[in-house]
Amino acid sequence: MSDEVTRGSDGTRSRVEKALEKFSGWGQRGRYRKIAAEVDRLLAEVQDHVHLRATLLIWQAQAHLAMGSAELALPSASASWELEPSPHACHLASNALEAIGDLEGSEDMLRMGWRLFPEAVHLPVQLAVLLSDQARLPEALDILDEIPFDERMPNDLQVFLFGLRSNLLATMGRWAEAEDVLNEGIDYHPDSQLLGQAHDALRRARVKSRAERALERSWRDSLEELDGSAAEVDEAIIRCGDVNEFSALIVLGARRLWRAYLEQRQARPQAPDIWGVALVLAILEIDEKRQPVAPIARSIGCNPASVRKVLARFRSFLSSLDIEFAARAFAAHTNPRLIRDPAILRCDLRTADVLQFPTE
């Protein structure tokens, strides 16, 4: 611990060292509020000692983040960074900025820290995760490409990087490359259970992706043309899907349900948008992804109460069908024709132990 606190009077250094030892124990017991309060008290004693203040402020920022108070953590992390820039202060300030919704500020902070501390590999990895969370996948992959593989890295970090790179490639549809990355990772770490599970999951996901594309082609080719108000409802389904960024299969399922309904029931929709939204919501329910009615209704200017009334019609229609038939005919991502549970390895920087900075 003494190498952390290299400046200041012997008495002050001793008091801070003892406090830091207490902080470790308090943190393990979740006593973050006590850490933050003690830091406030100690800061008054170290006004003239830059390193001591910077170290204490890092602990205070960590405590506030652990309590979910990013707005309080940010001033502490920023002050530590201004007093004595460090990879840890950069990491904490970026987390706080992200938590309060300032993604641009978080990104800028990580890029600055990476330039100042190129050996701190955690910072570009955190940056790649931040970008991937914003669906900026090619940019995230470019960041990972700039991180040189070093066999001296901790094994857990190597495994994490193999998994993260593979996940990005798979999400971009670059399946063969994703599998090559995992195979390389398994060559380096043949005993890694995480990479083995990710490899199996990747193959299931790839099979399901192919099945989804085949199902989409089949459904699209089988759609007969509609006219009049029926065609307007069809267009409303597509518009609802576009506005809410629903998958092509969900939109196609809703369009198929509309045609099946027209074959069995009479319908004269006066407000096509309302019917289109209700059809999409019905498919989401079949797909085990029930959504609140109001936000989706309002997304294309529909009255939620009116949508609920029409949705009741489709629920009644679906309840009259055989459950397995309805699933095969209309379900999107839970369709029995598709393989279930294709989850790809997901890496979370904020919970991966390997990416937590040491405090001792």
CATH classification at residue 273: 1.10.472.10
DSSP 216-281: HHHHHHHPPP--HHHHHHHHHHHHHHHHHT--HHHHHHHHHHHHHHHHHS----S-HHHHHHHHHH
Looking at residue 48, its pLDDT comes to: 80
Q: Which of 266, 354, 350 is nearest to 92 (CA)?
A: 350
**Average pLDDT of the chain to the nearest whole number:** 88
Question: Cα separation of 86 and 62, whole Å?
Answer: 14
Q: Is residue 339 domain-resident? A: no
Looking at residue 2, its pLDDT comes to: 39
Side chain identity, residue 205: A
Q: Collapsing DSSP states into helix, strand and coil, what is residue 208?
A: helix
> What burial class does residue 228 get, using C-beta atoms within 10 Å of its C-beta: 0-12 exposed, 13-18 middle, 19+ buried?
exposed
Looking at residue 28, its pLDDT comes to: 87
Residue range(s) defining the domain that contains residue 75: 1-84
Q: pLDDT tens-digit profile of 45-66?
A: 888 889 999 999 999 999 999 9
Note the pTM of the prediction, 2 decimals. Answer: 0.71
Looking at residue 357, its pLDDT comes to: 34
Question: Cα separation of 353 and 59, whole Å?
Answer: 18
Average pLDDT over residues 17-27: 85
Average pLDDT over residues 14-33: 86
Query: Is the pLDDT at 295 greater than 90, yes or no?
Result: yes
Same domain flag for 323 and 250: yes
Domain end among 195, 222, 249: 222
Q: Is residue 111 domain-resident? A: no
DSSP single-letter state for residue 84? S
> Alpha-carbon Rg of the chain, whole angstroms?
27
Q: Which of 282, 291, 271, 276 is nearest to 315 (CA)?
A: 282
Question: Cα separation of 354 and 160, whole Å?
Answer: 8
Q: Is residue 92 domain-resident? A: no
Average pLDDT over residues 330-339: 85
Q: pLDDT tens-digit profile of 176-219?
A: 999 999 999 999 999 999 999 999 989 888 888 888 899 999 99
Q: Is residue 98 domain-resident? A: no
Q: Is residue 288 domain-resident? A: yes
Q: Which of 342, 333, 340 is nearest to 284 (CA)?
A: 333
- Tell me which of 23-27, 229-233, 344-348 is least confident: 344-348
Same domain flag for 324 and 302: yes
346 or 227: whose pLDDT is higher? Answer: 227
Q: Which of 73, 12, 18 is nearest to 48 (CA)?
A: 12
Total domains in the fold of the chain = 3
CB-based contacts of 187, cutoff 8 Å, min separation 6: none
